Amino acid sequence: MAPQTDPTNRLDGYRMPPEWAPHRGTWISWPHNPDTWPGCLDKVEASMLDVVAALGEFETVHINVLDSGQERYLEQRLAKRVARGSVQMHRIRTNDAWCRDHGAIFVVGGAGAETPLAAHKFGYNAWGGKYPPYDLDQAVAAQMAAALDVPCIEHAMILEGGSIDVNGEGTLLTTEQCLLNANRNPDLDRAMIEQELKDAFGIERIVWLGEGIQGDDTDGHIDEITRFVTAGTVITAIEPNRDDPNFIPLQANRQSLERVRLSDGTALEIIDLPMPEPVHYRGARLPASYANFYIANDLVLVPEFGVAGDAAAAAVLADCFPGRHVVGIDCRYLVAGLGGLHCLTQQVPVSDVRLS
């Protein structure tokens, strides 16, 4: 289906399900840009092969590739690691690999919806114009929607998928540092941005946190700091070291969460997720965070950074998702690109998710 335009940017009766809701699949744009991962692209690819192998046991993995050559190369690398038919290749060219941010954001429809599944294509400017060129990435979302033959609603507003998180019951998490940043939508105020989010994702309330973590070039994406793990529970990154520059902003975010009340008047349950020890590459501090996990069908992919906190973080997340397999992924080199597991993946929900 061709992209559609709607003056209200609204798909009536649609809502974005939470990440733990059943998936039709997971979408990835394969890493290929050596400028993003200087000197370590081969190690990044090894970790991403592990990601695809883990996901492929539980759901279809869609992979955007540059051309037929890259497609054949990946088919050969994956042949002994995933079952036939569990991976679908799409010749959708990209500038970079951050599918969470440049890809389509999928929503599901309720009774009376035009189709069970639809996609939103928001504006994309590589986190405030930081990494040109991004012309190919700007076109990815519409091509993903076309590949699934679902409606695609185009928005002028700049929005990356990693800047929002939803609980599936009308609440959305985001940060002021990102969505109110002048490098995204200087002509939109908070109220206008909130209305756009409510219309697009079926949201009633928005929880604004403050700042993100050191090394995060996305200007404070929520998926590095705080995530819903149930409709009434969040897991939030905390920094145990008072001398670390992340200590104060993460404490401030936690205090904000303590004041949140859900639609029924109850407080959020808050689970602390300690940050890893600082991770560096070529002298620069990286945005390493265990909050950048990814929830799939019967599976949670958890970042590992080769530090003492890895096992404890995996245990915390295992407690949050009983019954799901918890699989650690080596992210020491993935995060050298200033992103992680969640940033590199985008869920496609099944189209018959019940809307509350």
Confidence of residue 11 (pLDDT cuts 50, 70, 90): low
- Residues with Cβ within 8 Å of 149's Cβ and at least 6 positions away in sequence, in order, are 1
Residue 231 φ then ψ, to 5°: -60, -25
Read off the tokens for 145.
Answer: 């929607």
pLDDT of residue 352: 65
84 CB-near residues (< 8 Å, 6+ apart): none
For residue 232, pLDDT beyond 50: yes
> Residues 254, 258, 259, 260: what is their CA dihedral angle, to the nearest 10 degrees?
90
What pLDDT is recorded for position 6? Answer: 43
pTM of the model: 0.95
Q: What local confidence, expressed as pLDDT, does residue 3 receive?
A: 45
pLDDT in tens, 24-62: 999 999 999 999 999 999 999 999 999 999 999 999 999
- Mean pLDDT over 283-294 rounds to 98
pLDDT of 179 > 70? The answer is: yes
Residue type, 57: E
Whether pLDDT at 351 is above 90: no
Q: Which of 7, 147, 130, 135 is nearest to 64 (CA)?
A: 147
pLDDT at residue 117 in the model: 95
pLDDT for res 111:
64
Distances (CA, A) of 314 to 44, 88, 292: 21, 29, 12
| pLDDT tens track for 326-343 | 999 999 999 999 999 999
Q: Is the pLDDT of residue 349 over 90?
A: yes
- pLDDT on residue 149: 96
Mean pLDDT of the chain: 94
- CATH says 3-349 is which class? alpha beta
Q: Which of 30-39, 77-86, 107-116, 238-247 has the lowest mean pLDDT?
A: 107-116
Give whole-number Cα distances, 339 to 78, 96, 121, 277, 333, in Å. 23, 12, 21, 17, 10
Q: Given a cut of 50, is residue 114 above it in pLDDT?
A: yes
Which residues are designated catalytic? 343
d(CA 160, CA 107): 15
| For residues 339-350, average pLDDT | 98
pLDDT band, very low/low/confident/very high, at 115 (cuts 50, 70, 90): confident
- Pull the structure tokens for residue 245: 């520059």
Domain boundaries, the chain: 3-349
**How do beta strands 171-175 and 165-166 pair?**
antiparallel
Element (H, E) at 311: helix 310-320
Beta strands in the chain (DSSP E): 3-4, 14-15, 23-29, 60-65, 87-91, 105-109, 117-123, 152-158, 165-166, 171-175, 205-209, 226-230, 233-238, 269-274, 280-281, 284-285, 294-296, 299-304, 325-330, 346-349
For residues 1-7, give the mean pLDDT.
Answer: 43
pLDDT surpassing 70 at residue 356: no
| Amino acid 280: pLDDT | 97
Range in 7-11, 164-168, 179-183 the model is least confident about: 7-11
- The residue behind tokens 């909130």 is 194
Q: What are phi and psi of 255, to 5 degrees?
A: -65, -35
